[in-house]
Structure 1
Amino acid sequence: MKRKLIIILFLVNGIVAESQVGIGTTTPDKSAILDLHSDSKGLLITRISLNSSTDSTTIPSPATGLLIYNIASSGISQDGLAPGYYYWNGNKWIKLGTGEDDIKFIGTSNHVTQDAGTGGLGNDVGTGGYNIAFGAQALSNNTSGSYNVAIGTSPLLKNTTGNYNVSVGFQTLINNTYGNLNNAFGYGSLQNNKSGDRNAGFGSFTLPSNTTGSYNLALGEGALYGNLIGSYNIGIGLNTFFNKTTGNENIAIGSWAGTGQISGDRNIFIGGSTSVSDKTGSNLLNIGNSIFGTNVNIPFNASLNDLRVANIGINTDTPSAPLDIQSTRTTTSISPNNTVVNAGGNINSPLQYKIQNTNSGTLARSGFLAVANNGYNSSNMAWIGINNENFNSTHDIGGPNDITFVGTGKDMQIANASLSQSIIFSTGTAVTPFFKERMRISANGFIGIDTSTPMLHFIITEQLHLQWECPAQIIP
């Protein structure tokens, strides 16, 4: 009878072992093979000293899914291990991640992964607070810097006291020590910045050479590539200001815009590969390698308003006047392509070109000047204009408000190219009764005064009074 009871108990226990095993409980959970219960004890997993993440000799031929607790530290390299729970995935040991392990909450609200922070151990970022460091060697030298975000490999690697920086990407802001409020996104962005503040680089190698410059904005691969110490610069596009090392308040938009510039302030380059011959100048403009400017972008100062002497050039990067237009065409044919300025409109009113000199001095006048290829302002030139109200020059013709037509070339010629039309001279006003014809030279060479139909080579329809002041001569 006793022997039969033992056999029955053995069979019952065998059935229980095949379904659930309970330790510390008589009612193991049906979903568990092993159910442990204790109010004062825990489960102790096998403790092993691993040599590396690929160690398959300490435990020969580990089974996939094998769980251990590593008690050895084999360094902080990418293949190194820190103490903790690991499982074998068939090729290497993988550390189990928890909120307190892969991402640690340390100090004053710092969020740090296991390979980031001081020394890359994931357990320290100095006295700084509110930092986020995700990635190998992120913020690995931080002492008191706070409110920084470092994501990637080696972002903000050398940062010690810098604050409010955002560094995303391999080696972004890697040399920053105490610069503040910088934003770097992309491989190598702001990688040499040490103490510059408030810079922003978006794209690989944006502002990579900057060391102490501040308030710069670079957008696009290699933007503001050469900038070392310049501040308040903007570069948008591939390799803008690639060679420019110094200078402030410059703007370059377009791939390779500002090519060749080395220094200078307040320059503006818009368009791909825009450049000028003056590589170190300031206040220069280039739009599309077609429109240029000098003395532009000068800060406003009411007391210096008369010093605003910007020159704009079309097809010349060295304009010598407020508007300097140079035609690059060499054709000898007469065609619209030879026109330098073409203006047009559609308005039921005078469409005019206006030029006015508002100065009231004795030499002031307004007009147009045409100069021959071998001429100058006072030789081989033609001038048409109007004198200002106080004009009183001893070497120019006319008095105040006189209209003048002056030439210093050879003969002065006036012609009407229409074979059947006349040359007419009138006086009067632009209102009623309007202008009245005084003299006409007809197409056949007849000259008339106060007649619009001269029939002879010279005809006068009114009295003619002739007076000679030559008493020594007898005039028939």
Structure 2
Amino acid sequence: MKNILTTAAVLFGMTAFAQVGINNTSPKATLDITAKTGGTRPEGLIIPQLTGDQIRAATTATPTPVYGTDQKGLIIYATTADSAPAGATASITAPGYYYFDGSAWQKVITGTVANTDLATGTGGIYKGSGSLSGNTTVTQGANTLAFTSTATNGFSVDGTTLSVDAANDRLGIGTAAPLARVHISGAGGAGGDHLRMTNTGSDWALASENAGVQNGITGKASLTFVNRINSYRTMTIGEDNSFRIGGNIATGNAALSIDGPTNKVGIGINVPNATLDVRAASNGSTPEGIIAPRLSLTALQGYNYGGSQTGAIVYVNSASGTPTGQTANVTTVGYYYFDGSAWQKILNTSSGDTTNDAWTNDTTNAMVKIGTKADGTARAAGTDFVVKDDGKVGIGTATATSLLDVVADNKGTLGQDDISLSSYNSTGPSPGLIFRTARGTAAAPANLQNGDDLSNIIFAGRIGGK
């Protein structure tokens, strides 16, 4: 009896505060166990051990379970998994330490969670389906959180609300089978919006609209940009390749429109009625009209225009320079069009002759001439009317050699080549041919001197080939 008591005294030391010490006499906690050796023998604490099935049977025993709220915090070691985990033993899926939380058994996690633990659902990561018991926050700090997958729907929220196709590097919103890097599917949010971008003072939306009239492309679905502050559609692209931008598209007043099926372009109108259909932006309270490109003569000479520019129209706002080549006719400010080889002036009724027989420039021969007959057809040889740059006038000839050079070839109406002068007045004088001769110049005439001819009328006939 003495030996037993001695052993007990060695093994246990108790304080006045009911603290128990094993292998020590000064316990520092409710139960304080000190190793008996330096590791030459097994040291440690062996918790009661039961199989998973035994734990389940005790927990579900009727009429009174073995484990209840009085056993909350109890620890036990399951030597095997529960063969039918459910209810209170749903977590006993592998051997290990478990504690009772008052209603169910929870696995005790020790050390670093290894990949092998994750494979079996250990470590707080679900292997199968489960539910959160409350709001959960993951505090990462400076640590990263990464998911790796090779599945087509490797990560999803509510099925199709958000889906990550890890196999093809795609993100689906509204679809679990995205067809592009980012694929948004479905009717969208308010107003059909699929993407909404807001900031202080701005609210923009990108929507895929079904066929209607609100997108400015009647009967066709479209991709639409919407200013949600005023609900104006600022740009639409239709399934028929039509395009609308600016203005108020929903009311038919796009600032710029392109009709996909016809390639017609409209300004201020949704559906243009011609190749280019321009509608006034106001009732005349603001400037209206079309302003052609404005270039100086020098700028116009900076490019050599060709056949592909035939019909081009420009407004020359400065004729300063030397007209030459394609710009030989560009001598004044105004509108010009390119005829495929040279720039031609567009005249108005108050600034020149607009009929087919208008004067044209002939820079090669240094003269201006009547280009065509009244009907617009070419003039025949011998019907020329030219004014050369040196002041000579030719009638019936393009090679005037005198101040007035008239050449007629069977043109007289009386059977002869005639120059006819007619005069009509109330006093009855006959027509006159006046010759005035002076020395000097027209600007500074001087008197004749003895021996000067007053005038000459020369009659010459062709004799001997001369």
Normalised-by-shorter TM-score class? 0.3 to 0.5
Normalized against structure 2, the TM-score is what? 0.41
Whose radius of gyration is greater, 1 or 2? 2
Q: TM-score, normalised by structure 1?
A: 0.40
Higher strand share: 2
